[in-house]
Amino acid sequence: MKQEQLEQLLLKMSVKEKVGQLTQFAGAFYMKHDDGTPVTGRIEFPVEDDMLDVSGSVLGIAGFEKVKAIQENHLHRSRLGIPLLFMADVINGFQTIFPIPLGLGATWEPSLIEKLQAVASKEASSAGLHVSFAPMADLVRDPRWGRVMESTGEDPYLNERFAAATVSGLQGRSETISNDHIGACVKHFAAYGLSEGGRDYNTVDLSERELREMHMPAYKAALQAGAKLVMTAFNTVNGMPASGNAPLLRGMLRDELDFEGVVISDFDAVEELVAHGVAENESVAAQKALQAGVDIDMMSLSYARSLSSLVEQNLIDASLLDEAVLRVLELKNELGLFEDPYRGMSVTNEQAVLNAAEHRKLACEVAEKSMVLLKNQNVLPLERNRSIALVGPYADNPDLLGEWSIFGNMEETKTLKDRLPDARYAQGSALYHREETLLLEALDVMAQADVIVLALGEGRDRSGEARSRASITLAPCQIELLKKAHETGKPVVVTLFNARPIDLTDVEPYADAILECWHPGSEGAQAVVNVLFGKTNPSGKLTMSFPRATGQIPVYYNAYKTGRPLPEGSEERFYSRYIDIPNEPLYPFGFGLSYAAFTYSNRRISQSELNPSSTLIVSVDVTNTSLVAGEEVVQLYIQDVVGEVVRPVKELKGFEKISLLPNETKTVSFEIDSEMLRYHHSDLSYASDPGLFHVWMDGSSVCEDEGKLTFTFHTS
């Protein structure tokens, strides 16, 4: 449809029909009874029945048959024939499930993320979806928060790269969104990752400078990549819940970032303005949200129940309603729904696309690349001829898909035990509680093997939304099992299946090797086996620090400098330190081992001076000194030595993943220009300052200090 036709359509719409476009209801409201009769609008639907007939979008339902039936039924009832939009959370895959986003981050391969999101998009669109609520671009620093699993970690630059890659993968890179792609909705705008104490839905309060410096880059990158929608956050930003926050939504998002797409609230967030205490009732909540710039109300029903009368009473400017509706119509039009409300969907295509062999193959590859080898004392890779005891609550557990795998199929997911049929198996313990008989059985099995592979972790029931934890250790029963394994004197390999950084202080001393496997997806078990036996050499690197204790949280690599930095090795008191644990996390950002060994040498800089119009090149030679081929992520960090405001101790500014054969050396170079040195000053201006900078290139954020390079930036 042409823009004029959309505007004509808008003119024909009643207020109620307009309000309908701004409401999103759960798929269950549109379902049919078992006998096939439609229950549209008649099952515990807490709004006037006919509201469903004019509604604009549907949440969380997919599958050719269901979507087709709902859309058909809707078009039949809709006076103006406006098709429904189907939206859902396709976060790390639709039916073929990839690792959770925190694991995807550990690949340090944005192009791979784009590829798998294109697969997710193809599967989702074949099943009738039009929009995914991804990427979640929230920067995270607190592993108590269950939703860190949905983020790619603690670094603004990496998050930027992954957010953009996700959008490109979901939407495709062409001008229009083709039928095998879907729209991307970046969330949660803004700064949801900072919920105080890691408690979900909790307050966020941060300076505008910090918001712009650390949190905005990833949302912005998603918008620059063309994301069609933005979802508001549950939390407050500068004292106002995001879903009623005009400076944030109309000021920053629309005026400053020029976002022209659709803003949707998070689930019930409009109504929650009442609980937040910034609206007296649901009607005021609806009024404030629309005025603040929320176009679609996801599931709170506040718009459905209040907007019409607010317009009638002139409490809302009708033009606000019109502009929001037009944006929704434009999105439908961009997705081609007016021409074909089914977007070429067919049952044969759905069957051919879902879980296609090449998708599963990619899922395995990505899972292998997401795994992070945290420790290895000459035990991995496993030798084929050694007998293995496969023990632990994750050893025969198909809970590998992660919390957002709503369309995945856990029943059909192979477990480690399935993939290691020759190993001796014992469960050893339930996930969270001790069972004496299981433990005794495991002792027996472990006694008979040469090497013990423990599969430990925490399930999807302890991660994701509304799953904050005050303590992030493994359950005591699992630690007990680990200690028993260690007591056998046999090599112990711990494979970890979890969706947040765990405090591994009680694990590390008892394990000879630790492989962080995350919730690795549909082909996760096969991927673990491939890595354990060295078919694939692990190359993942953490994108979120693993703390030594819950009390150390938040701990992240790009912290601001303090006035009393602790000198290395100092035992003295009056420094910024803990008296009971080191300041450093147990495993830092950027860290991850390989079966190969890499040495960094000959770090060099093309010149020691930089000015606004020049660039300089830093280079390093990386050599594989081992007998196996491997991949290494070479990371570039810069420190601004003196800033107008306090600057981080270091910041990631570039990275490159390279493959190296045994004895091979490659030179990795990075270009540095003045734009990379910009930051937000106290007056919020974004600029670089003259002065001295330090540069590191290494395989982790904990860098060899002797490798430090320096240069001076001159502004004139």
- List active site positions: 266
C-beta closer to ligand NOJ: residue 300 or 594:
300
Rounded CA-CA distance 449/431 in Å is 23
C-beta closer to ligand NOJ: residue 146 or 524:
146
Tell me how far, at minimum, the Cβ of 228 lies from ligand NOJ, in Å.
15
Q: How many residues does the chain have?
A: 716
C-beta closer to ligand NOJ: residue 242 or 292:
242
What is the SS3 assignment for 241?
A: strand
Structure tokens at 65: 């048959």
Burial 520-538 (b: 16+ CB within 10 A, else e): bbbbbbbbbbbbbeeebbb
Least Cα distance to 117 among 72, 181, 186, 174 occurs for 181
Cα-Cα-Cα-Cα dihedral sign, residues 117, 498, 542, 554? positive
C-beta closer to ligand NOJ: residue 463 or 674:
463
What is the SS3 assignment for 120?
A: helix
Least Cα distance to 182 among 67, 266, 322, 102 occurs for 67
Rounded CA-CA distance 132/480 in Å is 42
* SS3 per residue for 70-87: HHHHHHHHCCCCCCCEEE
Query: Where does this chain bind ligand NOJ (CB under 6 A)?
Result: 60, 89, 133, 187, 266-267, 465
Tell me how far, at minimum, the Cβ of 168 lies from ligand NOJ, in Å.
20
Q: Which helix (H) or strand (E) holds 598?
A: strand 598-605
Q: How many CB atoms lie within 10 A of CB 710?
A: 12
Structure tokens at 591: 């860290």
Least Cα distance to 656 among 638, 630, 634 occurs for 634
For the chain, what is the total number of helices (H) and then of strands (E)? Answer: 20, 26
Rounded CA-CA distance 462/470 in Å is 12
Query: What residue is closest to ligand NOJ based on CB?
Result: 133
Least Cα distance to 709 among 608, 589, 599 occurs for 608
**Token match 């939504």: residue?**
249
What separation in angstroms does the CA of 539 have from each of 160, 162, 373, 598, 666? Answer: 21, 17, 8, 12, 17
Amino acid letter at 520? P
Tell me how far, at minimum, the Cβ of 613 lies from ligand NOJ, in Å.
43
C-beta closer to ligand NOJ: residue 60 or 83:
60
Rounded CA-CA distance 226/183 in Å is 9
Cis before residue 188, ω within 30 degrees of 0? Answer: yes
CA-based Rg of the chain, rounded to a whole angstrom? 26
Structure tokens at 163: 């957010």
C-beta closer to ligand NOJ: residue 234 or 598:
234
Q: Which helix (H) or strand (E) holds 668?
A: strand 665-673
* Pair 527, 368: CB distance under 8 Å: yes
Rounded CA-CA distance 549/546 in Å is 9
* SS3 per residue for 432-490: CCCCHHHHHHHHHHHHCCCEEEEEEECCHHHCCCCCCCCCCCCCHHHHHHHHHHHHCCC
What separation in angstroms does the CA of 45 have from each of 29, 84, 296, 522, 659? Answer: 7, 18, 18, 36, 57
Rounded CA-CA distance 445/39 in Å is 55
C-beta closer to ligand NOJ: residue 266 or 523:
266
Least Cα distance to 267 among 192, 157, 217 occurs for 192
* Pair 93, 148: CB distance under 8 Å: no
Tell me how far, at minimum, the Cβ of 523 lies from ligand NOJ, in Å.
25
